[in-house]
Amino acid sequence: MSDVRVAGTGVTPFGSTPERTSRDLFARASQTAFEDSDVPRDDVEAVFYGNFMGELAEHQGHQGPLMAEAAGVQAPATRYESACASSGAAIREAVVRIRNGEADVVLVGGAERMTNLGTAGATEALAIAADDLWEVRAGMTFPGAYALMAQAYFEEYGGEHEDLAHIAVKNHENALTNDKAQYQSAIEVSDVLEAPQVSSPLGLYDSCPISDGAAALVLTSEDYAEDNDLEAPVAITGTGQGGDRMALHDREYLARSPAAREAGAEAYDDAGIDASAVDFAEVHDCFTIAEVLAIEALDIAGVGEGISAARDGRTTADGETPVNLSGGLKAKGHPVGATGASQIAEAATLLSGDHPNSEFVADATTALAHNAGGTVASATVHVLAEVEP
């Protein structure tokens, strides 16, 4: 079984660029990834691409070969769709293919064009990641769904909106130096608490923005990296995937994330570590409560203890386990098909010392990336590790 190296990364700035198509965005991210990797395009044996709403936002299906062409690659290409975990699922497939010896070089990533739909249109498009028959037709949107999860958490474990506000403040602070982030501006707890309410208890600053963007990775086998003298100091050492029932009313828990726990347990076992080995994490904080559920599911915080982690400084940049040093989805942005790949890119550059916030994890050797779909009916988790020269 071959080790999987991150040979190159490319991430576009996240934000509002409604005039840019997904193929334009992915071409740009791929170009950067190839330049970073020093891998010839002709060596790519497969393209795996994550995208969620291309049919709705751009009237475009069958995007795999389209994105391979945009990246300048002639290879079999497949699009992966798992809501907001689309490129996380694509990365998992790439890791498995390389480990199995079926490929030495894979281009993997994702993109999403969302702002051209407007707020109402993007909200409606995102809603189809929920159960259409029993949730969407009843008026459920994701702000409402995560608000229900937050209410359930407060009732079961305690906490208040101010605890969630500290998560938003932390992630905005982390994004200040990230030139890829949609929001490079500091906020205060009072800003979060006084912001317009979206769905109680969540307000505007508890929610990630609508974003356009793309991310791409060139992944190679260990043998390929060594044979070609590539500078690829980070490996993906663990991969896991979990699932849960689609509709909230069919679930055993509202205040826990079984899919993320399942994915995390598999990834930890695959990497041969436990949560105590994780030096920092990038987790799927589409809403502030989502970060709480994620770090508890991944054993970064105990059940019922994640709510106070940011407030107590345990997950801040200088805390014991920094979470979302990129700014997270909350401040970096969330072009849904690109998010999973961008998390891996952020974690890899943080480990290699090439990220603006690498100073906070200068001694780190192990990172984790958690990507979730819908209300975490789907989840992927990947463990990354620094490779000794």
Q: Residue 191 falls within a domain, yes or no?
A: no
Q: Residue 181 falls within a domain, yes or no?
A: no
- Give yes or no for a contact between 381 and 260, defined as CB atoms under 8 angstroms apart: yes
In tens, the pLDDT along 25-64 reads 999 999 999 999 999 999 999 999 999 999 999 999 999 9
CATH of the domain at 65: 3.40.47.10
Average pLDDT, integer, range 324-338: 98
Domain limits for position 374: 4-118+209-384
The separation between the first and the last C-alpha atoms of the chain, rounded to the nearest angstrom, is: 20
- Give yes or no for a contact between 266 and 241, defined as CB atoms under 8 angstroms apart: yes
User: Which sequence positions are flagged as catalytic?
Assistant: 84, 334
Q: Residue 88 falls within a domain, yes or no?
A: yes
In tens, the pLDDT along 226-262 reads 999 999 999 999 999 999 999 999 999 999 999 999 9
Q: Give the pair of three-digit tokens for residue 159.
A: 């906490």
Look at residue 287 in the predicted model and tell me its pLDDT: 98
Look at residue 388 in the predicted model and tell me its pLDDT: 78
- Give yes or no for a contact between 185 and 330, defined as CB atoms under 8 angstroms apart: no
Q: Residue 184 falls within a domain, yes or no?
A: no
CA-nearest of 266, 197, 234 to 344 is 234
- Give yes or no for a contact between 98 and 221, defined as CB atoms under 8 angstroms apart: yes
Residues in contact with 12: Cβ distance below 8 Å, sequence separation at least 6, in sequence order = 25, 28, 29, 180, 213, 214, 215, 338
Q: Residue 158 falls within a domain, yes or no?
A: no
Q: What is each CA distance from 348 to 154, 176, 341, 386, in whole angstroms?
A: 34, 19, 11, 8
CA-nearest of 152, 181, 379 to 267 is 379
Q: Residue 200 falls within a domain, yes or no?
A: no
Residues in contact with 385: Cβ distance below 8 Å, sequence separation at least 6, in sequence order = 234, 235, 237, 271, 351, 365, 366, 367
Q: Is the peptide bond before 201 cis (omega within 30 degrees of 0)?
A: yes
Q: Residue 89 falls within a domain, yes or no?
A: yes
- 3: pLDDT confidence band, cut at 50, 70 and 90? confident
Q: Residue 323 falls within a domain, yes or no?
A: yes
CA distance 286 to 162: 17
What's the domain count of the chain? 1
Provide the 3-class DSSP secondary structure of residue 252.
coil
- Give yes or no for a contact between 162 and 206, defined as CB atoms under 8 angstroms apart: no
Q: What is the mean pLDDT of the chain?
A: 97
- Give yes or no for a contact between 371 and 88, defined as CB atoms under 8 angstroms apart: yes
